[in-house]
Amino acid sequence: MDKGLLQRKTRYIVGNRKVAIIGAGFVGASIAYALAIRDIAREIVLVDINHEKTDGEAQDIRHGIPSMGTVDLYAGDYQDCADCDLIIVTAGRGRKAGESRLDLTNENVKIMHSVIDSIEKYYMRGVILIISNPVDIMTYKVTEWMGLADGMVFGSGCLLDSSRFVRSIADYLDLNTGVVNGYVVGEHGDAQVPVWSHVTIGGMPIKEYCEDVKIEWNEEIKKAIADHTRTMGSEIIKAKGKTQYGIATCVCNLADAILNQRPTIASVSSALKGEHGVRDVALSVPSVVGPAGVQQRIREKWAPEEYRGFFDAVEQMRRIMAVLQN
């Protein structure tokens, strides 16, 4: 066999593994903390309109780094984005109890536009990862505003939903999450779609696994898990007022794929270019994420009901985009 076939890959150049995090609220600071203790980046700059608080967050995280990692972490300004390999945007108002992610749309689009204008003044290179909600709309608008190569702007999308989905399945089966493979596609919100047709346990289809080990498995149980996955964020916000740790740890996996050139597959949001016949919206599909952001969107086959759910999310996004205040 030609060894070149086994070694074929596209090379992308990553510079100094520098990350800018725009927004030093609970989510932004938690992401900085998670990246620091995982020692994924060499340099992290926190940028926020409240420079005093941002400096306090940076100092607090720095004080624990000597025993945990080597990253240089500090408060900075938008000009520090110029030579970043990854720019993570968390700026915007957070979701309140009883409020959907889409309720934030017009207010956070205005905030995001201001942020992107500030980034664009100094931008030279680097992947832009959107965390701010509603993340699918934000991702599409930033893609439009920045005009970068396909995939260089993408959003966390259903990454956290997929993690919650796997956690819920593992809890039901009383297994470690490491043996559960599954993900959620579509909107990061109420129109998310669990792809049951591709859920496996140790490589075995979940229905087959449950039959083999004599665990009850039916549509009612599937619905309960899907509903729990969809409402988990709202339940956490109701209980503690915010969510931050789940998304922070999930983002670490994406940052590692980008900064350390270890491509991974994740259900993240990007502007679709004809996948499943869809264009002009950003939604989550399984994607190869690496140094160039979303390097490929995987066109896999789903069950008919999963396609219907995904296309419902597409139509919902298009309706919102049609009335969005620019």
Catalytic residue list: 188
Instruction: List, in sequence order, every residue forming a beta bridge with 302; answer none if it has no partner.
Output: none
Rg (the chain; Cα; Å): 20
241: left (phi over 0), alpha (psi -120 to 50) or beta: left
Alpha-carbon distance 57 to 175, whole Å? Answer: 37
Helix (H) or strand (E) holding 44: strand 43-47
Q: Which residues of 236-250 are buried (b: 16+ CB within 10 A; e: fewer)?
A: bbeeeebbbebbbeb
Task: Answer for the pair 285, 298: CB distance below 8 angstroms, yes or no.
Answer: yes
Task: Answer for the pair 269, 155: CB distance below 8 angstroms, yes or no.
Answer: yes
For residue 286, cis peptide bond before it (omega within 30 degrees of 0): no
Strands 86-89 and 72-75: unpaired
